[in-house]
Structure 1
């Protein structure tokens, strides 16, 4: 009996000793955590999409606590960026909202196929079989990998076999961008209303032979743009959104309609009563939408106005507004 008690006492002593050592080690080697990380996790959306460039919301929260920008979460947008900035005690940084754009208009009706694909109905699988069944090697395969990748229900497939993006639902997480094997989905500022919906770098004659809506590199858009915002390189038009004014002149000139514009609700210029008739706006207007005599109040022809805003910038009396 005494041996049993001794054994228990010895084991108990070892347990106390080891416990004390573990407690001491835990205190010495403890990693201090920033209490702000938990606060940040509380305001981040928890989508864990990785669009911020960090491994999930927890990774981003830790990075913010160490000085990373506060506005990298496209899912949360400006409201979350403001809350994050408040926690960090800094001013909120603005960032243009980004939305996904499908750079292809060549659906079933516009672009033919090379062969009848009967494999697994995914874009990845179709692309692996001889580079896809579509005649255009740049175009959308139409099997909906992007739609399935979207966690927010922002993408649907049209009857014509092309993805349709609901920009109101799009969070800019870029999961659809990663899912597309042909890289035809890209991101653009939500305020950019004009887009080139083609990625083909084939020569115009080759494009016309396989697709009715592809870019043929004719440069009519480039010549029409008064702001030097669109250029054709490698047979493909591309827009510099830092210069584009959403005027839509390139949209009107494009013969294949591969350039599209969401221009229905764009504002138009309006000249107020403070106009002194200096004619500066009239001379600056790229579409001759402003009329009026010297020293007389000018007016805008809303049917001609493209909403570029040049007249607003030029007016010395600041009497022109966009409405």
Structure 2
């Protein structure tokens, strides 16, 4: 190929590049989707955990949903009340009441209270163990202590304690819901941060069978239900459940429960009354 041909080829490629570049620039402006500046402002206001606890795919999804009016301004559980206030200001709305919640493991079935049906020698994963006939524990509803929740928590808010059960640090927990979703036994739930009284059991079998499996399980006797002065606790599907909107943390149910399946911070209640 002679010199003139090379020059012509180079010139042609240069012209084509300029034409395509101009076309792309025109298209980017012509078909550009304008982003509402409030979406960017909301996105900058939230913590950026991208945990999905709000019900949307990451913080960008939440910000877009808030601006579209389909997500509440206080819908970020990680950010809590401070973030809700900022987002409300951006949107020109009232933040409303935000109740801080934390995860709670509803089980006290460690080895002394609840034995195993077989020895498990597999992955340190509750999800994997649960595939083997429901896992090794006698109670098929309890915590297996293999740490799937610990592994997935993005805030280092869970540990496996010295009793072999998952335990939540309420000061680190942001109620992102990841541990709740991954637990194959549904033994973790979100409760109000201020809640002192908890049903520490997840077993829904009938009383006689429950006692064979775990010494501290709820036996659905109904004593708590009959003694609660606020109608805040009822036996549903063989398991006591607390209505947190009605519960006043009087802890009468804690004192009356024959198996100690209902737990509460009696010392804190005494301090509050004394003060």
Name the TM-score, length of structure 2 as normaliser: 0.91
**2:84 pairs with 1:81:** yes
More off after superposition, 14-23 vs 150-159: 14-23
Q: Distance in 2 between matches of 1:156 and 1:21?
A: 57
**2:72 pairs with 1:65:** no
Structure 1 residues 3 and 45, CA gap change in structure 2 (3 angstroms): same
- Alignment counterpart, residue 35 of structure 1, candidates 24, 34, 37: 37
Q: Secondary structure at the match of 1:109?
A: coil
- Alignment counterpart, residue 97 of structure 1, candidates 92, 100, 104: 100
More helix by share: 2
Name the TM-score, length of structure 1 as normaliser: 0.78
Q: Secondary structure at the match of 2:208?
A: helix
Which residue does 2:196 correspond to in 1?
Answer: 193
Structure 1 residues 133 and 191, CA gap change in structure 2 (3 angstroms): same
Which residues of structure 2 form unaligned runs of 5+? none
More off after superposition, 161-170 vs 36-45: 36-45
The count of corresponding residues between Structure 1 and Structure 2 is 272
State the 1:58 CA deviation. 1.5
Structure 1 residues 267 and 80, CA gap change in structure 2 (3 angstroms): farther
State the 1:167 CA deviation. 0.9
RMSD, matched Cα: 2.1
Q: Which of 1 and 2 has higher RCO (CA within 8 Å, sep 6+)?
A: 2
Which residues of structure 1 form unaligned runs of 5+? 270-301, 304-322
Q: Secondary structure at the match of 1:222?
A: helix
Structure 1 residues 5 and 162, CA gap change in structure 2 (3 angstroms): closer
Asked which structure has the greater CA Rg, the reply is 1
- Alignment counterpart, residue 248 of structure 1, candidates 243, 248, 251: 251
**2:34 pairs with 1:50:** no
Q: Distance in 1 between matches of 2:4 and 2:153?
A: 71
- Alignment counterpart, residue 20 of structure 1, candidates 3, 22, 43: 22
